[in-house]
Structure 1
Amino acid sequence: MRTEKHPDLTDPRVGAPFFSTWRVGTPERQRLTVEAVRHTWERRPWPANGLLGYHVYAGHDGTTVMHYSQWRGEQDYEAYLKTHRQERVDEIDTVVPGIERVGLRRYRRRRSRERAAGDVRVPGLIVTVRIDFEDAGRREEWVDLVLKALEDDVEGHAGLVSAHFHLSTDGGHVLNYAEWESAAAYDRALAAPSTDAWERVRTFDGLVGSTGSRYTHALGLVPG
Structure 2
Amino acid sequence: MQLTRDFPDPARKGVVLSSEYRQEKVEEILEPWTSAPWPAGLLSYSIYQDADGDLIRDYSQWTDEEALDNSGRAGDRYHLYRGSRSEDGRVPGAMVAVRVDTDSAELARTWVDAVFEALERDRNLPAGGIGAFFHISTDGRQVLNYAEWETAEDHRRALAANSGSVSAGPLWDRVRTMPGVRQVSVIRYVLHATLAP
1-side partners of 2:183 and 2:30: how far apart? Answer: 35
Sequence identity of aligned pairs in percent? 41
Q: Once the two structures are superposed, what CA deviation does each residue of 1:167-217 show, in whole Å capped at 9, x if it has no partner?
A: 111221211110111122112221334211111111112223332112111
Name the TM-score, length of structure 1 as normaliser.
0.78
RMSD: 1.9
Alignment of 1:219 with 2:193, yes or no, is yes
2-side partners of 1:78 and 1:135: how far apart? Answer: 24
Alignment of 1:9 with 2:1, yes or no, is no
Alignment-derived partner of residue 204 in structure 1: 178
Following superposition, the deviation at residue 157 of structure 1 comes to 2.9
Conserved? CA contact 1:132–1:210, under 8 Å? yes
2-side partners of 1:151 and 1:126: how far apart? Answer: 21
Alignment of 1:191 with 2:192, yes or no, is no
Q: Once the two structures are superposed, what CA deviation does each residue of 1:6-65 show, in whole Å capped at 9, x if it has no partner?
A: 0001123xx1111012223xxxxx4xx2223444433443222x1000001112354222
Alignment-derived partner of residue 157 in structure 1: 126
1:113-152 aligned within 5 A: 113-114=84-85, 116-119=86-89, 121-152=90-121
Letter matched to residue 88 of structure 2: G
Alignment-derived partner of residue 22 in structure 2: 23
Conserved? CA contact 2:100–2:183, under 8 Å? yes
Alignment-derived partner of residue 41 in structure 1: 33
Point out where structure 2 has 5 or more consecutive residues left out of the alignment.
163-167
Conserved? CA contact 2:99–2:185, under 8 Å? yes
Alignment-derived partner of residue 165 in structure 2: none
1-side partners of 2:107 and 2:32: how far apart? Answer: 41
Structure with higher Rg: it is 1
2-side partners of 1:162 and 1:155: how far apart? Answer: 16
**More helix by proportion, 1 or 2?**
1
Alignment-derived partner of residue 97 in structure 1: none
**More strand by proportion, 1 or 2?**
2
Letter matched to residue 208 of structure 1: R
Letter matched to residue 221 of structure 1: L
2-side partners of 1:118 and 1:195: how far apart? Answer: 26
Letter matched to residue 48 of structure 2: Y
Conserved? CA contact 1:21–1:104, under 8 Å? no
Following superposition, the deviation at residue 153 of structure 1 comes to 2.2
Following superposition, the deviation at residue 154 of structure 1 comes to 4.5
Following superposition, the deviation at residue 138 of structure 1 comes to 1.4
Letter matched to residue 56 of structure 1: I
1-side partners of 2:152 and 2:52: how far apart? Answer: 13
Conserved? CA contact 1:34–1:219, under 8 Å? no
* Alignment coverage as a number of residue pairs: 191
Letter matched to residue 5 of structure 2: E
Letter matched to residue 191 of structure 2: H
